[in-house]
Amino acid sequence: MDVKALGWDPETLGEIDHRLVVAPYVRMSSYLKGSAGDVTYVFDLRATQPNKTYLSTGVLHSFEHLLLAGFRKYLSDNFVSVAPMGCQTGFYLILQNEGRFDEVCRVYRAILDDILTSDTVAYATPDNCGQADHHDLAGAKKLAQDLIASQNKWSQVF
Ligand SMILES: [Zn+2]
């Protein structure tokens, strides 16, 4: 797989030293080729600096919901899953057959722009969520604003 041709730094694939990274960034962490030629990609959106700062669980939870709604809206043919990192510093994204840096970042930006004008957190109801009263839309908007402001640094992991 030529990840460089997709716009990624090959040096940032796989295990990385969390003491050396500089958040925020977007990286491809791994990929898996299937026997039929399909490719599944895993990406990190690292939002806060590891072992220095972290997101509150309310922000992490609301952002998870908003990213889910956004990827379903903008990338429904490729979107598999998005999930918060247990360390509360970012999110995992899994896509099928879409691994281009420019496209991943274009969609992230579109979702972040949507979050800024959101009046509600998607799926934040008891039928859709396991802790429907545990959300922080204002905090999610602040995170979206911070990520937009630093978009020119997303490609730099180290
Ligand atoms: Zn939820």
Q: How many angstroms separate the Cα of 114 from the Cα of each of 20, 71, 117?
A: 31, 11, 5
In a domain, 2, yes or no: no
Q: What is the mean pLDDT of residues 136-149?
A: 98
Q: Using CA atoms, how far apart are residues 42 and 99, in angstroms rounded to an integer?
A: 9
In a domain, 132, yes or no: yes
Q: How many domains does the chain have?
A: 1
Q: How far is the CA of 102 from the centre of ligand 1 (A)?
A: 29
Q: Is residue 121 in a domain?
A: yes
Does residue 5 belong to any structural domain of this protein? no
| Position 1 in a domain | no
Task: Reply yes or no on whether the pLDDT at 114 is more than 90.
Answer: yes
Q: Is residue 122 part of a domain?
A: yes
The alpha carbon of 131 and the centre of ligand 1 are apart by a number of angstroms equal to 6
pLDDT band at 141 (very low <50, low <70, confident <90, very high): very high
Ligand 1 mean position, distance from CA 129 (Å): 4
Side by side, the strands of the sheet bearing 25-33 are 25-33, 39-46, 90-96, 79-84
CA 121 to centroid of ligand 1, rounded, Å:
9
Q: What is the CATH classification number for the domain harbouring 86? A: 3.30.1360.80
pLDDT above 90 covers what percent of the chain? 99
Closest to 105 measured CA to CA, from 69, 156, 62: 156
Which is nearest to 56 in space by CA: 141, 136, 125?
Answer: 136
Distance 34 CA to ligand 1 centre (A): 31
pLDDT reading at 1 higher than 90: no
Average pLDDT of the chain, as a whole number: 98
Q: Is residue 72 part of a domain?
A: yes
Is the pLDDT score of 132 beyond 90?
yes
Domain that holds residue 51: 10-153
**Inter-residue contact 93 to 42 (CB < 8 Å):** yes
pLDDT at residue 127, rounded to an integer: 98
* Closest CA relative to residue 42, chosen from 116, 95, 104: 95
Query: Ligand 1 centroid to 122 CA: how many Å?
Result: 9
In the chain, what are the helix, strand and coil shares in percent, each to the nearest 5?
A: 35, 20, 45
For the residues 71-97, what does the mean pLDDT come to?
98
Do residues 28 and 43 make contact, with C-beta atoms less than 8 angstroms apart? yes
pLDDT tens-digit map of 33-47 = 999 999 999 999 999
Instruction: Give the residue-averaged pLDDT of 19-35.
Output: 98
Alpha carbon of 33 to ligand 1 centroid (Å):
31
pLDDT band at 99 (very low <50, low <70, confident <90, very high): very high
Single pTM value for the model:
0.97
- Residue 89: pLDDT over 90: yes
134 C-alpha to ligand 1 centroid (Å): 8
What's the 47 CA to ligand 1 centre distance in angstroms?
19
pLDDT of residue 140: 98
Distance (Å) from CA 3 to ligand 1 centroid: 33
Is 106 part of a structural domain of the chain?
yes
Q: Indicate the DSSP class of residue 109.
A: H
